Amino acid sequence: MRKSFVLLTAVIILALSFLAWRFSKSPDSAPVVDSSAETGRDGETVEVLFWNVFADDTSTGEFLARASEAFMKENPGVKITVNGQGGYDAIAERLEAAAAAGNLPTMAVIEETFLGRFHPIVAELSRYLPDAVIENYQPGLLASGYIGDGLYAVPFNRSMPVLFYNKTKFEAAGINSPPATWDEFRETAEAMSDRENGVRGAALCWDTDAWIFESVLYSWGGDILDETNKKVVFNDGGKAAETVRFFQEMEENGTLFSPYNHQEDPWITVATEVLQGRACMMLGSNGMYSLYSQWMADAGYELGIAMQPSFGDTPSVATGAGNIVVFGGAREEQKAAAGKFLEFLARDEYAGEYAALTGYLPVTKTAANSEKLRAWLSEKPEYQAVIEQMMYAHRRPFTKNWKNMYGVIVEELEACLSDKRADAAEAMESAAAACQKIMDENPD
C-alpha cells in the first residue's frame, strides 16, 4: 500500500516537472546530434550514421554498402551505418524532424540546394578534409558546397538534365542527330509522332522538385531568383509562362506525352512510355543512364543520350542532385571519421566506379581521367556530351524556402500538363506571387 502511494506521488511529481520542463524548453540552443547510441569511449568504435537518398536495394544503396564495408576494413575503429531514406524530399523532411528532435545522423546526402536550408547545422569541412582532396573535386560541382569561403558540402551523386532518346527509332526514321535546340526538339517530336498508333515524339516530367522546369527555364534565358536571392523572377516578362506554353502546345498537338493524366508516379510513367517505344525522347537525369540503358536494351531498343536542348548556341542547364554534409553537432571523432569516409569515397576507384555504375557525373578530376572511366566512356562516346555540359551549369536558387516554393510551382506545372490544362500565364503568375509571399514572410 505504502509503496503504491509513493509510486503515485512520484507519477504526479514527474508529470508536473515534465510539464514545467516542456514549457521552459525552447529550441534556442542548436540542435544536437544524437550521440546517446554512439558513446564510444577512448579506443572504442566510433559510430557514423549516414543517411543516403536512395533505398538500400538500389545501385547507389548497394554501392555505399560495399564502399562502407571496404572502408571499415581499412579503419577498424569506425562503424559506418548507411540508411536509405527514399528521395530528396523525404530526406529533407526527416532531417527537419531530426533537428527538432535532436537526433540527427552524423552525415547525410542532401539535394545541393538544401544547403540553403541546413547550413546553420552543418559542419565546415575543410577541417576534416585534406586540401588535396578538396582541390581534386570538379570545381563546377563543388561550387554549390560553398557559403562565402567556407566549404559545407561535397559532391556525391551529381547530375544534370539530359536528353534521352530512342536511338533505334530515330535511326529507323532517318534522323541521325538528336535535337540540339528547342525548335529542333519540336520538329523532331513532330516527325517522330505517329498519332494513329498512339506514338508521341516526346514525353515530359517536370520532376518532383521542378528541376526539369528549372533547367529548361535557364535555357530559355530565365532565372528563378534575382542576384540578391530575395526576389522571385521566374515569370518576369512571362518567361516561365512562355516555357510552359511551349510544352503545352506540343501536348495539345499530340506530340508530347504528359504523365499527369495518370495515377502512377510521373517519372515511371514517362520512362515506361519511352522504354516501350510509345514516346521517343524525354528529359531526365544522367544518373539514370545505366538503368534506362538496361531497360531499353531489355525492350530491344538502344538508348541515346545528348545535351539538353537550348536556344541558340549557349546552352544553360541546372546542375543538381546529391551533396554530402556532415552535421556540426556530431562529436569531434565522428566528424573526423565522416571526413575520412568522404576522402575514401573521393578516391578514383570509388568515385570512378560509382560514375560508371550509375551514369552520375564523376565528382573528381582524377576520377574523370582515370583509366577505368576512360574505358567506360570509350564504349559510350555520347556520354562525353554530358561531361561537356558541365561548363554550362547555371546558378541555382539559394534560399531556405526553396522546397516550399517548388512545391507550389510543381502543383501549377502539373495542372498545365494535365487533362484540364490550366492557363499557363495565370498559373505561373500565381505561382510566382505565392513564392514571393513565402520569401517575404520567411527572409533568409
Partner 1 sequence: MKISAVLRSPYALILPAIALCLIFSVAPTAMSVRDSFRSVDYVSGADKFIGLANYRSIFTDDVFLRAFKNSVLFMFGVTAFSVPFGVAAALFLDKNGFIRNFTQSVIFTPHIVSFIAVATLWMFMMDPRYGILNYILGLLGLPPLRWLMDSSTSLLSLAIVAVWKTTGFNALIVIAALQKIPAELYESARLDRSTPARTFFHITLPTLSPILVFLVTASMISAFGTFDIVKFMTEGGPRNSSNLMVYWIYRTGFLHFQIGRAMAGAVILILFLAVVSAVNLALAGRRAHYQ
Partner 2 sequence: MSGGLSRAALRAAGFAVLIMIFAGPMFFMLSASFMSRYEVNITPPALMPSEFHPENYAEAWERMNFVHYLRNSLLSTFITIAGQLLVCVPCAYAFAKKQFRFKKTLYCLVLFDLIVPAQAIFLQMYILESGLGWINTMRGLTAPFFYSAFTIFSLVQYFKTIPDEILDAARLDRCSDVQVIARIMAPMASPIIITAMIFTFVYKWNDYFWTSILTTDETVRTLPMAIQNLMPVDHAAREWHVIMAGNVMALAPMLAVYILANRAIKSGLIYGSGGRRAVSGKSV
Q: Which is nearer to partner 2, 100 or 375 (CB)?
A: 100
Cα–Cα distance, 2 to 15 (Å, whole number): 20
- 404 contact, one of partner 1, partner 2, none, CB 5-8 Å limit per kind: partner 1
Stretch that binds partner 2, among 91-99, 110-118, 153-161, 320-328 (CB under 8 A): 91-99
- 94 contact, one of partner 1, partner 2, none, CB 5-8 Å limit per kind: partner 2
Cell numbers 555540359: residue: 389
The CB-of-406 to partner 2 minimum distance in angstroms stands at 18
The CB-of-165 to partner 1 minimum distance in angstroms stands at 25
Task: Choose which of 48, 98, 153, 386 interacts with partner 2 (CB under 8 A).
Answer: 98
Q: Which is nearer to partner 2, 207 or 223 (CB)?
A: 207
Q: How far is CA 65 from CA 45, 79, 332, 392, 427, in A?
A: 18, 12, 24, 33, 44
Q: Which is nearer to partner 2, 100 or 297 (CB)?
A: 100
Cell numbers that stand for 117 in this block: 536550408
- 36 contact, one of partner 1, partner 2, none, CB 5-8 Å limit per kind: partner 2
Q: Which is nearer to partner 1, 109 or 307 (CB)?
A: 109
Cell numbers that stand for 377 in this block: 566512356
Residue 27 binds partner 1 (CB under 8 A): yes
Cα–Cα distance, 70 to 192 (Å, whole number): 48
Q: Which is nearer to partner 2, 243 or 285 (CB)?
A: 285
Q: Which is nearer to partner 2, 322 or 352 (CB)?
A: 322
CB within 8 Å of 118: residues ≥ 6 apart: 95, 110, 325
- 87 contact, one of partner 2, partner 1, none, CB 5-8 Å limit per kind: partner 2
The CB-of-377 to partner 1 minimum distance in angstroms stands at 40
Residue 94 binds partner 2 (CB under 8 A): yes
∠ CA 155-151-325, nearest 5°, is 50
Cα–Cα distance, 313 to 309 (Å, whole number): 10
The CA radius of gyration of the chain, in Å to the nearest whole number, is: 24
Q: Which is nearer to partner 2, 75 or 208 (CB)?
A: 208
Stretch that binds partner 1, among 15-23, 276-284, 300-308, 337-345 (CB under 8 A): 15-23
Cα–Cα distance, 157 to 154 (Å, whole number): 10
Task: Choose which of 65, 336, 425, 434 interacts with partner 1 (CB under 8 A).
Answer: 434
Count of residues binding partner 2 (CB under 8 A)? 24
Q: Which is nearer to partner 1, 215 or 401 (CB)?
A: 401
The CB-of-171 to partner 2 minimum distance in angstroms stands at 28
330-350 CB burial, b ≥16 within 10 A, e <16: bbebbbbbbbbbbbbbbbbeb
Cα–Cα distance, 300 to 252 (Å, whole number): 30
Give the residue from 47, 58, 63 showing the smallest Cα distance to 87: 58
Within 107-136, the residues that bind partner 2 by CB under 8 A are: none
Task: Choose which of 49, 67, 99, 270 interacts with partner 1 (CB under 8 A).
Answer: 99
Cell numbers 522546369: residue: 213
Give the residue from 123, 113, 202, 169 showing the smallest Cα distance to 397: 113
CB within 8 Å of 442: residues ≥ 6 apart: 400, 401
Binding mask 106-145 for partner 1 (x = CB under 8 A): -----------xx-xx------------------------
Check the CA dihedral 316-322-327-332 and report its sign: negative
Q: Which is nearer to partner 1, 141 or 422 (CB)?
A: 422
Give the residue from 91, 80, 79 showing the smallest Cα distance to 52: 91
Residue 24 binds partner 1 (CB under 8 A): no
The 8-class DSSP code of residue 208 comes to: T
Cell numbers that stand for 225 in this block: 531568383
Cα–Cα distance, 185 to 333 (Å, whole number): 53
Residue 90 binds partner 2 (CB under 8 A): yes
Within 342-401, the residues that bind partner 1 by CB under 8 A are: 400
Within 253-272, the residues that bind partner 1 by CB under 8 A are: 260-263
List of E strands, 320-429: 320-326, 393-394
Binding site for partner 2 (CB under 8 A): 21-22, 25, 36, 54-55, 58, 83, 86-87, 90, 94, 97-98, 100-103, 264-265, 267-268, 271-272
Binding site for partner 1 (CB under 8 A): 1-2, 4-5, 8, 11-12, 15, 18-19, 22-23, 26-31, 89, 93, 96-97, 99-100, 117-118, 120-121, 260-263, 400, 403-404, 407-408, 411-412, 414-415, 418-420, 422, 430, 434, 437, 441-442
